[in-house]
Amino acid sequence: MRLRALLDSEALGLRLLGGADELDRTVRGVMTTDLTDPSRYLSGGELVLTGLAWRHGPQDSEPFVRILAAAGVAGLAAGEAELSGAGVPEDLVRACARHRLPLFAVDEDVAFAAITEHVVRQVSGERAGDLAAVVERHRRLMSSGPAGGGPDVVLDLLGSDLDLRAWVLSPTGRQIAGTAAGAAGGRLPAQLRAQLAGEHLGALRGGRPGPHRVTLPAAGGGVTYSLFPVGGGRDLRETVLSDWLLAVEADAGEWPPERLDLVHGVTQLIAVERERRDAARSVRRRLAQEVLELVQAGAQPAEIAARLRVAVPVLLPGIGAAPQWQVVVARVEWEVPYGQPGIAGGPVAQAMLEEMLAGADRDPAERIAVAHTGDEAVALVPLPAVPARAAADGRPEEGGADPGAAGGRSRKGAAGGAGPGRGRTGGPGAASGAVAGAGLRAAVLLAAVREPLARALADDGRLTLGISAAVHSSEGLRGALEEARHARRVAAARPGSVCAAGHEELASHVLLLPFVPDDVRRAFTARLLDPLRAYDHRHRAELVATLEAFLDCDGSWTRCAARLHLHVNTLRYRVGRIEQLTGRDLARLEDKLDFFLALRMR
């Protein structure tokens, strides 16, 4: 608003005492003070209200006005309530005239609170209108072409025009954008991001309407955040692990409807950027899909290598040497009530794995390549090659890659441990993140995201994840894929809604299956499966098929019954018959693994 507008309201009781030619100044706020030097609390553009308690004599007016003028305030309003009818002192009027600072007198019957409320209401309304227009222009730009600064631009506008600090977060707590103002350039601490993401996901799964408000402890008291979903409109289980959220440091319950509508418009704008980035991943998804299909089809290594040479410049632009590769396999499964349609797990796991790996990477925009097949997602993770001498002595070559940065090593040297001290690059703490000298590590990858993902999965969802060792070339990719799948099965045998396992956790007999002599393999499988085969033959039953489906569903009665189109009680009867015929207990991990190996060695 302009200073001139203050004189248009008779209720404010303001009289202009000087500065008529400066009334077109913009008022950005209001401040009441009786300090001798209020400069530390001024940012420019304020209407300063004062009761003149700082003035002990004529000599005080000049330094006070000089400080206000240097701070760039819009104007000064002096109250007459304590002046006993004498009016505003002439020395103050002259000081304001010298510094070209507009001066108003406030009638003794008018409270400063009334002026403050009027100015704040006018300024907030104008800011909201201006910001809404900017948001609408930005929306049109983003719908017709690339957005110059992405969501950061809109969040900076929220900060500068509405004094709102805001951040865009992924469901894993990864910060995608944030208001520039504040500590660390607007970045939130990792623990706080994970808390906010977890609270948001818990509210979504609980069916609470948004925005979700949460107060978290902070220095000096609690801080309230309002959490707005970005996107939506589909089955929640399809999007809860991949949709973004907008976290605003304010209590939206105290906002007028106009401000709520404005922030909802901002979330729609951010959703456009979310869709744009998702579309940009299509090339990397296609590359991963092509490589995965070649590997699964048993293509020649030369053919797979040719496809990898195409992928390297896209995933790791600018590097000269071919990288090493890791494979990550993930599966997201939901309990589905009997008779109801299920959720396609592959696309859900793909979107979730992209977000998870983006949070583990230092340059996520260029390195994510995730495909899906059936109910699982498969990620190809390139690791920049570490020079041999540097890898051997634990230090980078001159001009080479730092082994403590995002790099990789040979299978022999890969650590990838699920706990501290499992690597060989200096023990615990040698790697600073999930992508380090040893590549991806299961425990580190899940450390920051376990809490929010567990809130998203609630009581009816489960995420299991397996990570292979790093391999040098295309010849090792098929083994890496199988290794990651084996690791995921190990994770699936553990309790909890979010579980992961690395290659180093696999039992040696799983990795050595191809080298077991044929007669030993036949004897092992016959001992476990022959009683079931004989029963199936005599009774035209399907115990072997039931066993395979039960293990493939990780022992979930509901999922297995749905896959076989059986009632759960019928499935329990079949499993009980399997246990009776073989003398094994399918509730024990060891027996599950023996059956799994027997089925694989058929």
**HEC profile for 40-54?**
HHCCCCEEEEECCCC
For residues 503 and 569, the answer to whether their CB atoms sit within 8 Å is no
Q: What integer pLDDT is reported at residue 120 of this predicted model?
A: 74
DSSP letter at 470 equals P
d(CA 96, CA 91): 9
Q: How far does CA 171 lie from the centroid of its chain?
A: 5
Residue 84: how many CB atoms within 10 A of its CB? 8
- Residue 143 has what pLDDT? 47
Higher per-residue confidence, 138 vs 214: 214
Q: What is the per-residue pLDDT for 59?
A: 94
Check if the beta carbon of residue 562 is closer than 8 Å to that of residue 335.
Answer: no
Q: 348-367 b/e with 16+ CB inside 10 Å = b?
A: bbbbbbbbbbbbbbeebeeb
Alpha-carbon distances, residue 159 vs 153, 162, 250, 380 (angstroms): 10, 6, 12, 39
Token pair 């406030």 is found at: 106
Looking at residue 572, its pLDDT comes to 94
Q: Which residue has the higher pLDDT, 543 or 233?
A: 543
Q: Could you say which DSSP state residue 26 is in?
A: B
Using CA atoms, how far apart are residues 74 and 69, in angstroms rounded to an integer? 9
Sequence-separated (6 or more) residues with CB below 8 Å from residue 395: 403
Residue tagged 């995201």 (tokens): 449
* pLDDT of 390 higher than 50: no
Report pLDDT for 416: 32
As a whole number, mean pLDDT of residues 298-322 equals 76
83 three-class SS:
coil
Q: Are 586 and 595 in contact (CB under 8 A)?
A: yes
Residue pair 329/484 in contact (Cβ under 8 Å)? The answer is yes
What residue ranges in 159-278 does DSSP mark as E strands? 166-169, 175-178, 212-218, 221-229, 245-248
- Confidence label for 410 from pLDDT (cuts 50, 70 and 90): very low
Mean pLDDT, to the nearest integer, of 467-488? 86
Tell me what the mean pLDDT of segment 130-143 comes to. 52
Q: Using 50, 70 and 90 to split pLDDT, how confident is the model at 422?
A: very low
The mean-pLDDT minimum among 237-251, 307-321, 379-393, 395-409 falls in 395-409
Residues 6+ apart with CB under 8 A from 88: 17, 52, 78, 80, 103, 105
Mean pLDDT of 297-317: 81
H or E segment and range at residue 366? helix 364-367
Question: Is the separation of the CB atoms in 78 and 106 below 8 Å?
Answer: yes
Cα separation, 171 vs 174, whole angstroms: 7
pLDDT mean across residues, the chain: 78
Give dist(CA 107, CA 115) in Å, integer: 11
Once rounded to an integer, what is the mean pLDDT over residues 141-169?
A: 69
For position 139, what pLDDT does the model report? 53
Measured from the Cβ of residue 135, the count of other Cβ atoms closer than 10 Å reads 21
Q: What is the mean pLDDT of residues 66-92?
A: 88
Q: Are β-strands 46-50 and 29-32 bridged in parallel, bridged antiparallel, or unpaired?
A: parallel
Nearest in space to 259 (alpha carbons), one of 122, 140, 134, 129: 129
Residue 319 has φ and ψ, to the nearest 5°, of: -90, 150
The overall pTM is greater than 0.85: no
Each residue's pLDDT tens digit, 442-463: 888 888 788 888 888 888 888 9
Q: How confident is the model at residue 584 (pLDDT cuts 50, 70, 90)?
A: very high
In percent, the amount of the chain with pLDDT more than 90 equals 21
| Tokens matching residue 369 | 């390549």
Q: Are 246 and 267 in contact (CB under 8 A)?
A: yes
Q: Is residue 419 within 8 Å of 433, Cβ to Cβ? A: no
Mind listing the pLDDT tens digit for each residue in 543-580?
A: 999 999 999 998 899 999 999 999 999 999 999 999 99
pLDDT tens, residue by residue, 11-39: 788 899 999 989 888 887 888 888 889 88
Tokens of 79: 């109250």
Average pLDDT rounded to a whole number, residues 200-208: 84
Q: Which residue, among 367, 587, 381, has the nearest Cα to 502 in the 3D structure?
A: 381
- Angstrom distance (rounded) from CA 584 to CA 590: 9
- Quickly count: other Cβ atoms within 10 Å of residue 306's Cβ: 13
What residues contact residue 484 under an 8 Å CB cut-off, 6+ apart? 327, 328, 329, 378, 466, 467, 468, 503
Rounded to an integer, the average pLDDT of 381-404 is 46
- DSSP string over 505-567: GS-HHHHTGGGS-HHHHHHHHHHHHHHHHHHHHHHT--HHHHHHHHHHTTT-HHHHHHHHT--
Q: How far apart are alpha carbons 547 and 595 in whole angstroms?
A: 8
User: What is residue 55's DSSP assignment?
Assistant: -
